[in-house]
Homo-oligomer: A and B are copies of this chain.
């Protein structure tokens, strides 16, 4: 194993970053962290960027800068192209890296269940670019409704559909409700933004199925008060530029957002590892890939099952704990001890609805309403990376809470060239 074990981490999300940090004082390793993006993204708050409450830089920080003081890490911005397990090598867009330990933490993207053409009409929410695209669509719908003289068109523009009622879908729908009822209501002259229809469509029998039934019905009532209609047991059969089709019925809407399906990075399947239906790699008790003692998978890309329990959900705490576990396995190997098995310590889960309500569940303990929202706030601020970001997010929230305004209501295009535009 030589002087220093070479650790390669693919992905700077929660799993990859916590793995690198957990090895901070370990002099026996030298780490290379590869990510195609230069920034770590605090995904649990991404919906707030989409809803104009926060700026992208409030919830993202350069990976390089987060790890700048940790001398045993170097960060490289590039794409993973192939893994060669026999040679212990990864090929990247900037050259070949040799590893003694490899952590795959490439995360997941949204899935349209075979209807990738729906993406154009119903963006998902995984990257900052998608968040600003959603922000653009929602704000532009109100702007266009203000100037149109056609009543049908106005109705279509003021109809917002969110597909999928997991935490992201509920948070998006709640935030649109809040925005139309409070933030925008004073700014328009011709339309009454409070008449906006927000429809949350869920294929399953209830919203937020991972929570206790009592909490999901509480969330449904809270959503209703923000003007969100919830359609459960409803399946979307088509999405196009005029709206969606739900079990054959057409609903006209100019803004459709997708929060329904998730698919792991295709890498696991490409490498021939055993995967579950969502493309997540099935791992052994120490998080290694069966048959490859030095390749590990963590985070949303990993399917970990202990006994006959269901696989762990794709949430940040799971990723963080798995990243740390990877570090402790390396330490065990270097100390020539037995590898520990991964155990998930469930700290509970929470979801927020609008500006001052949330639901939370920790084991058997349940909480809802304003107190749960305060708890949600504290937890999210606590885990946000970087002092600057925490300060700025607290201030943005305090400002929005007191004034009902939102700080990042910018409609930006994706074009920057003047003359390209002028010529077309």
Q: Is A60 on the interface with B (CB-CB < 8 A)?
A: yes
Bound Cα distance A95, B144 (Å): 12
Which residues on A are within 8 Å of B, measured CB to CB? Answer: 37-39, 55-58, 60-62, 64-65, 68-69, 74-78, 94-95, 109-110, 112, 116, 119-120, 123-124, 126-130, 132-133, 139-140, 143-144, 146-149, 186-190, 388, 391-392, 395-396, 399, 403, 405, 407-420
Bound Cα distance A123, B416 (Å): 8
Bound Cα distance A34, B388 (Å): 37
Residues of B within 8 A of A61 (CB): 409
The answer, among B64, B119, B188, for a CB contact under 8 Å with A420, is B119
Bound Cα distance A132, B69 (Å): 27
Q: What's the least CB distance linking A369 to chain B, in Å?
A: 28
Bound Cα distance A72, B420 (Å): 37
Of the listed residues A95, A130, A187, A399, the one surrounded by the most CB atoms of chain B closer than 10 A to its CB is A187
With A64-B188, A65-B187, A405-B388: A94-B57 Cβ-Cβ less than 8 Å: no
Residues of B within 8 A of A190 (CB): 74
Check A77 against B391 for contact (C-beta < 8 Å).
no
The answer, among B76, B128, B187, B415, for a CB contact under 8 Å with A146, is B76
Q: What's the least CB distance linking A187 to chain B, in Å?
A: 4
Given contacts A38-B411, A61-B409, 13 further A-B contacts (CB under 8 A): A38-B409, A55-B56, A55-B408, A56-B410, A60-B410, A75-B189, A77-B143, A94-B148, A119-B417, A123-B417, A129-B416, A132-B416, A391-B399
Closest to A189 in B: B74
Bound Cα distance A416, B124 (Å): 9
Check A39 against B411 for contact (C-beta < 8 Å).
yes
Residues of B within 8 A of A130 (CB): 416
Bound Cα distance A94, B64 (Å): 47
Residues of B within 8 A of A68 (CB): 186-187
The answer, among B58, B60, B403, B412, for a CB contact under 8 Å with A128, is B412
20 chain-A/chain-B pairs, Cβ below 8 angstroms: A38-B410, A39-B411, A55-B58, A55-B408, A57-B410, A64-B187, A65-B405, A75-B189, A77-B144, A77-B147, A109-B418, A119-B420, A120-B420, A123-B416, A124-B418, A128-B412, A388-B399, A388-B403, A388-B407, A392-B407
Check B76 against A129 for contact (C-beta < 8 Å).
no
Residues of B within 8 A of A76 (CB): 146-147
- Top 10 closest A-B pairs, CB basis? A57-B408, A55-B55, A94-B147, A116-B419, A129-B416, A77-B143, A414-B414, A133-B416, A74-B189, A64-B187
Q: What's the least CB distance linking A190 to chain B, in Å?
A: 7
